[in-house]
Structures are given as C-alpha cells and as structure tokens.
Amino acid sequence: MIPLMSALPLLFAFLTVLLDVLQARRGIIKAVFVLGVLSPLPVLWLAKGESEIVGGWAREAGIEVALTETNVPFILGELILFLFVAIYTVYYLDFRDRKTPKVLALFLLIHTGLLGAFIARDFFNFYIYMEIASVSAFALVAFSEERGAKRAAFKYLILSLLASYLFVFSIGLVYMETGYLNVELVSGTAVPSRALNTALALASASLILKAGIFPLHSWLPDAHSKAPTPVSAVLSGAVVKAPAYGMVLLFSALPSGGTFRTAIMGVAVASIFFGVAMALLQRNAKRLLAYHTVSQMGYILLGIASLNFAGAAYYAMAHSIFKGGLFLGVGSLATKSRKLGEFGYRNAPVMAFSILMLSLAIGGVSPFIGAYAKGLVSSGLATGWKLAVYLGTLGTLVSFTKLNYHLMGTEAPRVPSAWKLSSLGLALAALAAGVILGAGINPKDALSIALAVVLFFLLKALGILGKARPAPSRDAGRDINLMTMTLVAVIVILTLLHWLTPAGGR
C-alpha cells in the first residue's frame, strides 16, 4: 500500500504526457494533473502507521518503506503545499504554450520523488527518489523565461550533481562498514570508526549543500527567485526538505558524537542569522523570501543535530505551508516588478490578510504552526541555543515588517480568484495546524512584534535597508568553483571534528 504514494503520481505524470501526445483537451489534462497531485492522500489515510518490505523480501535484501512519527509531518506538509500549488498552477500556466503539459508532468515527478524519499527507510532508495525530485526541479527552473534563469538552473544542476556523487560515495562507505543500507539494520550494527565518521561528514556536507544551508547556499537564492511563482513555492517549500529528511536518516542510523553535532548546530545557527541578514538587505521580494529559506532551514538542521527529530519534522511541515504560501502570495502581486515599493496589496484585502497571516506564521507568532514547531525545536536545547532561536525569530519578524511595510503602500494588480484561494488556503492551513497541534496564544508575542517594528524603523532611519546592493554574479563558472572549494573545506573540517569525537558516542 505505502509504495502507491509515490507510484500513483508517477502514473499520472505518464498519463499527462500521453494525453498531450494524443492532443487531448486542456481540461482533461488539467483534471489528470490535479488527480495525480491528490492521489497519495487516500493512501496516506488507509496505510497510516504501517511499515512494509516491497515484494515481501527479507529486510536485508528488500526495499523497506514506512510511515512513522518522523516522516509523516514531512509528507503532510508536502501534500498540503502541493494541493494549493496545483490549484494555482492550472490557472498560472498558459495552455497555448506547448511546454505546459511537460511542466505539469515535471511537477508530478517532483511529487513522486519527494514522497518516495520521505517514505524510504534505506539510503539507496532515498537517494534515487531525491534525485528524481532534483532533476525535475532543474528542468522547471530552466523552463522559466526570466533573464538569468538558465544560468541559475545550470549552477543548481552542477552543484547538486557534485553533492549527489559525494553522497553516493558516503553510503558506499556505510555499506562496506556495516553490510547494510537499511536504516534500522545500519543503526543496529554501526560502531564508531574512521570510515563511518568520514561517511557521515561527507553525507552531511552533501545534504547541507542540497538543502541550501549556509555556507553552501549560493545556488539557492538565484534558483528560487528566477523560477516561475508556483515552482518557487515548491522548490522552497518542499524540494529542500528531501535532503533534510536524509539527514534525519543519517543521524538516526550512524554514531555522530557530541563534537560533530555541536559543529552542525553551529552551522545551523550561522545559517539562521546569515539568511535573515541577507533578507533584510534585499530589494527584490522573491530574493528576500529565498534568503529566508536559507535561514529557516537552519531551524530544521538545529532540530536534527540536537537529535530532536520530531521538532525538525514539524518545523519542516510548518515551513512547507507558510513559505509556499508566501511565495504564492507575493508572486501573485509581483507580476510586473519584483522590486519592493513597486507593487503591493493596498486594494486587495484577501491578499493582504493572507500575507500578513503567513508573515506571522513564519515569525513564530502564536497560535500559528510556526510557533508550535519553533517551540518543539527549542524544547530540547540549552539556554544559549534557545537564545539564538529567539534572536533569529526576532530578525525574521523585522524582515517581514519590511516586506509588509512596502506592500501596504502600493496598489495590487488584478489577482485571479484561484491565486487568492491558494494563498488564503495556505494561510488558513498555517493557522488551523497551529490550533490543532495546541500552539495556544502567547502574550509575549505582542512584545516581540512591537520590538521588531521598532527595530525595522530604526534600521530604516539609519539607511541600512536602503543602500544599493551589488547585482548577483553572472559568472556561473566562478560561482561553481568557489562553492566547490567551500564544500571541500566544510567536508575537511567536519571530518577532522568528527575524528575528535570520543568513540562510542551517538
């Protein structure tokens, strides 16, 4: 039953292409696409709590898939996001363009890859499905007509492939040392060794790059901001979650040790603050949101490195909902210009309501799901790490005060009802999920919002937010070389740190 979650979207992707070849009516193609997006929902409902080996083989030789407390939040976030992205997409794409059915098929392939990766319980199948999602994502970025999109897709492709090769090498080391690729079997047999330490450092660095976490993030702002709006929502809300789930598998199976985990937590906090700082300096609204993905992935990594997998999983679900909604909402308004101050929601109350709600959700304000997930991530942390989470949250609120300040001052273009519905639906989902999970109302949030508004106007008065920023580099080769050197440096540092970890530590 569980494998159908990824098999059904794959079947509908094939049907979408077949109907295009047969020149079926566009309404039929749209319906097949939406059915493909919805098809995993009944499987999740009927198969909850199960684990199975595909084909009935022994666990040592078979492919295990499962629905657990750790991966279900990842899956729910992906499904909720894809539901509203599907509604948005069928009214966004121009069916007079012959590429449209191919774009819909690529969306379904991303759906297939992500769900396959999330249900996988062995490293090789996780890798295969993660690559299906990644390759489809490259193609969707390259389909964009925006200037610089092809260069962004090329950089994304090369760096992601480099990370993939290193990840495959690392799981080869795991197989050589333990004799297994199944997560449960590896966990039961792995003992600390230099080979496994090296494998964990290699795999972690590879997945950090694929997740767009600082300092291996440089491909992300270009790829996410240059893509068409529904693609940006899927890239930022869902695709970067597959490598995050891969790190959950790694840290639950391999011995990591305190020194290594502390180093990864340091990377997570650096990503939180770097992303916020860069977002505050942006004038392009989609790049502002893209840098917030760099920041928000830091919270998920913080949960993983502190072995708080539930916290990481719920934060991943929360981020899928509110970041996808923000990309859809802002993208709906920024149809002619993406420069802050040149578009807004002053005469569009539904869009204003949606974006304000989503801004509160990403800022960790209760009772939205962001507050619940952030509280869960913070729950197992020492005081210093909790302070970093609070300060990062405050920076996020300052950044979204800036976004909404500019959006309030300008009128909106005509926004189709389906686009409004998609943004509003994700905003309400962020609120409903928080209420259902028990986020409650925290009066201290009002103080945080007030402090964020004061800080925003202070930074604005100092002229820090209005200075001209250098344009993104157009030399993809130089960017790739720099990122490769950074990747090698991170791998060397993580490997040396891991070798310092006392033997036997998890």
Q: What confidence category does residue 48 fall into, taking pLDDT thresholds of 50, 70 and 90?
A: low
Residues 79 and 235 sit within 8 Å (Cβ to Cβ):
no
pLDDT at 414 over 50: yes
Residues 499 and 197 sit within 8 Å (Cβ to Cβ):
yes
How far apart (Å, rounded) are the C-alpha atoms in residues 278 and 282?
Answer: 7
pLDDT at 360 over 80: yes
Handedness of CA 423, 243, 399, 486 (dihedral sign): negative
Q: What whole-number percentage of the chain has pLDDT above 70?
A: 96
Closest to 118 (Cα-Cα) out of 136, 130, 108, 101:
130
pTM for the whole thing? Answer: 0.94
The per-residue pLDDT for 412 is 86
Phi, psi of 57 (to 5 degrees): -75, 170
* Mean model confidence pLDDT for the chain: 91
How far apart (Å, rounded) are the C-alpha atoms in residues 386 and 378?
Answer: 6
The per-residue pLDDT for 49 is 67
The per-residue pLDDT for 248 is 97
Residues 370 and 363 sit within 8 Å (Cβ to Cβ):
yes
How far apart (Å, rounded) are the C-alpha atoms in residues 499 and 255?
Answer: 12
The per-residue pLDDT for 501 is 63
Show the tokens assigned to 187: 């966990």
pLDDT at 473 over 90: no
pLDDT at 156 over 70: yes
Q: How far is CA 129 from the centre of its chain?
A: 16
Phi, psi of 52 (to 5 degrees): -150, 155
pLDDT at 449 over 90: yes
Max distance between CA atoms of the chain, in angstroms, equals 66
- In the predicted model, what is the mean pLDDT of residues 211-223? 92
Could you identify the residue written with the tokens 């302070």?
387
Strand bridging mode 51-54 / 63-66: antiparallel
Residues 465 and 394 sit within 8 Å (Cβ to Cβ):
no
pLDDT at 276 over 70: yes
Residues 309 and 248 sit within 8 Å (Cβ to Cβ):
yes
- Per residue, what are the HEC states of 415-466? CCHHHHHHHHHHHHHHHHHHHHHCCCCCCHHHHHHHHHHHHHHHHHHCCCCC
Q: What confidence category does residue 146 fall into, taking pLDDT thresholds of 50, 70 and 90?
A: confident
> Which segment of 193-197, 447-451, 499-503 scores lowest on mean pLDDT?
499-503
How far apart (Å, rounded) are the C-alpha atoms in residues 322 and 484?
Answer: 31
Q: What confidence category does residue 103 fall into, taking pLDDT thresholds of 50, 70 and 90?
A: very high
Helix (H, G, I), strand (E, B) or coil at 64: strand
The per-residue pLDDT for 438 is 87
How far apart (Å, rounded) are the C-alpha atoms in residues 127 and 73?
Answer: 20
pLDDT at 68 over 80: yes
How far from 279 is each of 85, 104, 244, 397, CA to CA, in Å?
24, 31, 22, 11
The per-residue pLDDT for 504 is 47
> Which segment of 93-102, 151-160, 454-463 scores lowest on mean pLDDT?
93-102
How far apart (Å, rounded) are the C-alpha atoms in residues 490 and 124?
Answer: 24
Higher local confidence (pLDDT), 145 or 314: 314
Q: How far is CA 65 from the centre of its chain?
A: 22
Show the tokens assigned to 144: 């964009």
pLDDT at 471 over 70: no
End-to-end CA distance of the chain: 34
pLDDT at 39 over 90: yes
How far apart (Å, rounded) are the C-alpha atoms in residues 391 and 389?
Answer: 6
- In the predicted model, what is the mean pLDDT of residues 432-436? 95
Q: What confidence category does residue 466 fall into, taking pLDDT thresholds of 50, 70 and 90?
A: low
pLDDT at 353 over 60: yes
Handedness of CA 172, 174, 180, 182 (dihedral sign): negative
- In the predicted model, what is the mean pLDDT of residues 372-382? 93
pLDDT at 467 over 80: no
> Which segment of 97-101, 155-159, 217-221, 464-468 scores lowest on mean pLDDT?
464-468
Q: What confidence category does residue 472 fall into, taking pLDDT thresholds of 50, 70 and 90?
A: low
pLDDT at 240 over 80: yes
Buried b (16+ CB within 10 A) or exposed e, 438-474: ebeeeeebeebbeebeebbeebeeeeebeeeeeebee
pLDDT at 468 over 60: no
Higher local confidence (pLDDT), 194 or 427: 427
How far apart (Å, rounded) are the C-alpha atoms in residues 169 and 401?
Answer: 44
How far from 6 is each of 39, 88, 431, CA to CA, in Å?
9, 22, 28
Cβ-based neighbours of 471, under 8 Å, separated by 6 or more: none
